[in-house]
């Protein structure tokens, strides 16, 4: 069984648009204890069989988990089939990289199942062909991601804390948000300060430097994102931010009692609320 944890962006800065249509980014990401389950087993027949226990995701090549298995079969000339059982817990199209993490879990799982001679670095390269967030998900832990998100530099985990997440009942298209972004007008977080804060294990400094260039864009389409953020801050969150291209908003909270209070407060007007721990360290994927 492979765990496929969700990620949050502690900071996300968009630098400029590239010639290939993607944007150059600087993101600090960390994994959280909210994960899908990915179970892999051999199939006699030479095919990929995906069983996704969720009505929100497809069972065919459109599923990033299926695509990951296809890429692995091609790249390593694997003969023999694979059965993938995917149990979704991470909300879909939420800014939490659920699909990317499933794909990464399949890359790791196939390497293990077929005893392939590979490295996390090589798997991350294969992952980059599937999506910009897949490389980070292959490594897990906490990292600075640059390029279009595929260049990964490991960072220390944040100090232990709670993460309270609220996902409004809407899906957001990452492409639409990037397309609507006005880089000059947008807010840009201080990535270097965030990296330093992690290295210094300074929780308050981490909270102070959270920021997401895409947040203002998503808020224009979905004002409820700003409302959720405001509710979290009013209820006592140490920091509150939209993750990825949204629409999920999360809080960082040190004290148990406060985290519980924010969770209960949010539950009053949002169906999907989660209270989990930040994972942040690499070994948590095993």
Site residues (vs ligand ATP, CB under 6 A): 57, 62-65, 92-100, 102, 133, 174, 244-245
Of all residues in the shown chain, the one whose CB is closest to ligand ATP is 99
68 among annotated binding-site residues: no
98 among annotated binding-site residues: yes
92 among annotated binding-site residues: yes
Q: How far is the CB of 225 from ligand ATP (least distance, A)?
A: 13
54 among annotated binding-site residues: no
Nearest to 53, CA basis, from 105, 107, 125, 102: 102
Q: What is the dihedral sign for C-alpha 249, 67, 29, 258? A: positive
Rounded to whole angstroms, how far apart are CA atoms 222 and 132? 24
Residue 50 interacts with, from ligand ATP, ligand CDM, none (CB under 5-8 Å by kind): none
Residue 284 interacts with, from ligand ATP, ligand CDM, none (CB under 5-8 Å by kind): none
Q: How far is the CB of 6 from ligand ATP (least distance, A)?
A: 8
201-236 in b/e form (b: 16+ CB < 10 A) is: eebeebbebbbbbbbbbbbeebebbbebbebbeebe
- The catalytic residues are 7, 133
Rounded to whole angstroms, how far apart are CA atoms 228 and 251? 10
Q: How far is the CB of 249 from ligand CDM (least distance, A)?
A: 14
Residue 38 interacts with, from ligand CDM, ligand ATP, none (CB under 5-8 Å by kind): none
97 among annotated binding-site residues: yes
Q: How many CA atoms lie within 13 A of 204 on its CB side?
A: 0
Residues at the site binding ligand CDM, with contacts judged by CB under 6 A? 9, 12, 22-23, 25, 27, 97, 100, 131-133, 148-149, 174-175, 178, 244-245
- Give whichever of 98 and 168 is closer to ligand ATP, judged by the CB atom: 98
| Residue 14 structure tokens | 């968009």
Does residue 36 sit in helix, strand or coil? strand
- Give whichever of 94 and 259 is closer to ligand CDM, judged by the CB atom: 94
Residues 142 and 158: beta-carbon distance below 8 Å: yes
Residue 73 interacts with, from ligand ATP, ligand CDM, none (CB under 5-8 Å by kind): none
Residue 94 interacts with, from ligand ATP, ligand CDM, none (CB under 5-8 Å by kind): ligand ATP
Number of neighbours of residue 267 by Cβ within 10 angstroms: 13
Q: How far is the CB of 101 from ligand ATP (least distance, A)?
A: 8
81 among annotated binding-site residues: no
- Give whichever of 49 and 186 is closer to ligand CDM, judged by the CB atom: 186
Q: Which residues contact 236 (CB under 8 A, 6 or more apart)?
A: 253, 258, 261, 262
Rounded to whole angstroms, how far apart are CA atoms 49 and 43? 8
* DSSP codes joined into one string, 49-85: EEEE--TTS-SSTTSHHHHHHHHHHHHTT--SEEEEE
Q: How far is the CB of 10 from ligand CDM (least distance, A)?
A: 11
Per the annotation, where are the binding residues? 91-101
Per the annotation, where are the binding residues for ATP? 91-101
């Amino acid at each position: 069984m492979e765990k496929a944890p969700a990620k949050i962006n502690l900071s996300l800065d968009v630098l400029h648009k590239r010639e290939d249509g993607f944007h150059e980014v600087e993101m600090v990401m960390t994994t959280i204890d909210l994960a899908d389950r990915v179970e892999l087993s051999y199939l006699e027949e030479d095919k990929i069989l995906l069983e996704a226990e969720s009505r929100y995701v497809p069972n065919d090549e459109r599923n990033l988990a299926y695509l990951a298995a296809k890429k692995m079969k091609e790249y390593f000339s694997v003969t023999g089939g694979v059965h993938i059982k995917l149990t979704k817990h991470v909300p879909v199209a939420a800014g939490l990289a659920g699909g990317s993490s499933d794909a990464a879990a399949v890359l790791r799982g196939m390497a293990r199942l077929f005893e392939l001679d590979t490295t996390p670095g090589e798997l991350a390269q294969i992952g980059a062909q599937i999506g910009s967030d897949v490389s980070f998900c292959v490594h897990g832990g906490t990292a600075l991601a640059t390029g279009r998100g595929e260049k990964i530099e490991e960072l220390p985990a944040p100090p232990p804390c709670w993460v309270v997440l609220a996902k409004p009942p809407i899906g957001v298209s990452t492409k639409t948000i990037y397309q609507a972004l006005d880089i000059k007008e947008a807010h840009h977080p201080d990535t270097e300060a965030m990296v330093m804060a992690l290295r210094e294990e300074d929780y308050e400094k981490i909270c102070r430097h959270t920021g997401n260039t895409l947040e203002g864009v998503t808020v224009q389409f979905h004002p409820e994102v700003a409302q959720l953020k405001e509710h979290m801050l009013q209820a006592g969150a140490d920091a509150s931010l939209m993750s990825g291209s949204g629409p999920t908003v999360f809080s960082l909270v040190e004290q148990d009692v406060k985290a519980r209070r924010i969770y209960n407060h949010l539950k009053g007007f949002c169906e999907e609320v989660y209270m989990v721990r930040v994972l942040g360290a690499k070994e948590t994927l095993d």
